Amino acid sequence: MKFQKIIFIYKLYMMIYLLAAFNGFLNGGILIKAGSVIGAIFGAALLVFMLFRWKRYWKMPNFILCILFLVSYMLSSLMNIKYGITENIQELMWMACQIGVLYIAGREYTSQMMKAELKILGSVYVVWCTAANIVSLTMISWGYEYGFTDAQNYTHWLGYLRGRLWGVYDDPNHGATITVIAIFMMLYLWGIFQKRWQRVCIAASMVINLLYIGFSNSRTAVVCIGCGLLCWCFLHTYNQKKSAVKAVVFSLAVTALAVGGLSAFEPINVQLFKSVQDQMVKKIEKSNNTETVKSPIKKTNARRNELKKDVSSGREDIWKSGIEIMGTSPVFGISFRNIVAYAEENLPKTYILNNEVVKYDSLHNMFVDVVVSQGIIGILIVFMMIGNTIRVMWKSLSRLWGKDYSIIIFSFIIVVTMTVASQFYTYLFYLHAPQTFFFWLCMGYLMTLARDWD
């Protein structure tokens, strides 16, 4: 029991640290760097302790495959050491903590322990996201192209820019997918908290967080919401009605309503952009105290123009770059943290280095990231993980349905939505983020409950 409590403290600490690390107002400070060191030391200590009791964990589904995946990354890093090694060591450490402490250590928990843990983690997470998104929504009025330079001389762009609400996040898609987790967390907590005031707070938080997703104009988040709601409504309805037809009809109706509602923000965002631009012009005219001032912000909606030119927002070209890089080192890959350095030496004309935006250090797709970073060996291990996970879940359906299905469904939804999100951003393996945190946490819950430990 003491070890479970220590793991919980680690989880709570890391969740708060990661939420702070993705807040643009906080992530440039010295506290975040110190927090990273503390988290690494804390996680490493837990991993060392787990090594002494490895026999307790080796039956955890995908245990061997997880170890092989980490070994594959280590080999790729060593084979490409001339491009850098420090960041790859850090990457390997964070992956080991995520897979080890969040996933494999799930073996330590019963379903009741999971419920008690998730009640606290979920409450803190929802409160943090709601507060962050309240600030984000206010930035529509005062945060137009808001930017500041931190102590490390790095400029953070936040607020409302490019026709989208970034809010307190350095990237609106990160903010939106972090908020997606909060949405499903609130659906889960709705069934736990029964008092009227608690449900009023959850409902109000739901509205605030949905508004942020709508104004962020994140298609990734909308797709995640759609996929998650489809599964959530089907599973809950089927559990109550025992009718597949009713479950399908209800889930499709709710999903269509939700996705349609979020999609309806597109014309609202267009008008909002015009309104914000007009307000900025008036402020500048007033501050300059002149009768005729030409608008200094004759900018079109960059987001709309970008999508008109390329509906994938450059992702197709990024993926093509990934395939080009993979072709130069197909078996072992080049290691994730060396993507830019490797491309500069071997493929200087590739898209991720030559575009109008930035040098991309990730390839915005989990499968492309893995095949580039760890080659054919790495991607084969991932496919085996996926296949084995599906096998374990399918084999355990009857047993899972007999347990507390609420935490089963929540965990399944988070795994599904974050897997969907990883097709457009670097989640699951190489990014140390709230999205990755909850993916591995919920995978640990799922596989622990699916496994027959008796």
Name the 3-class secondary structure at 148: strand
Instruction: Between 296 and 61, name the one with better pLDDT.
Output: 61
Residue 58, SS3 per DSSP: coil
- Paired residues of 144 in beta bridges: 160
Amino acid making up residue 259? V
- Is pLDDT at 279 greater than 90 in this prediction? no
Share of the chain above pLDDT 70, in %: 90
pLDDT tens per residue across span 312-371: 667 888 888 989 999 999 999 999 999 999 988 888 888 888 887 778 888 889 999 999
Please provide the average confidence, as pLDDT, over all residues in the chain.
Answer: 87
Least confident of 22-26, 71-75, 449-453: 449-453
Residue 252 phi, psi dihedral angles, 5° rounding: -65, -40
Least confident of 81-90, 375-384, 410-419: 81-90
Confidence of residue 309 (pLDDT cuts 50, 70, 90): low
pLDDT of residue 98: 94
Using a cut of 0.85, tell me whether the model's pTM lies above it.
yes
Greater confidence (69 vs 405) lies with: 69
| Pairing mode, strands 164-167 and 155-161 | antiparallel
Q: How confident is the model at residue 298 (pLDDT cuts 50, 70, 90)?
A: very low
163: left (phi over 0), alpha (psi -120 to 50) or beta: left
160: region left, alpha or beta (phi > 0 left; psi from -120 to 50 alpha): beta
Instruction: Summarize pLDDT for 142-179 with one digit per residue, the tens.
Output: 888 888 887 777 788 898 887 889 999 988 999 999 99
Q: How confident is residue 196, by pLDDT bands cut at 50, 70 and 90?
A: very high
CA–CA dist 34, 376 (Å, integer): 36
Q: Among 441, 433, 345, which Cα is nearest to 117's?
A: 441
Arithmetic mean of pLDDT, 283-290: 59
pLDDT at 94: 93
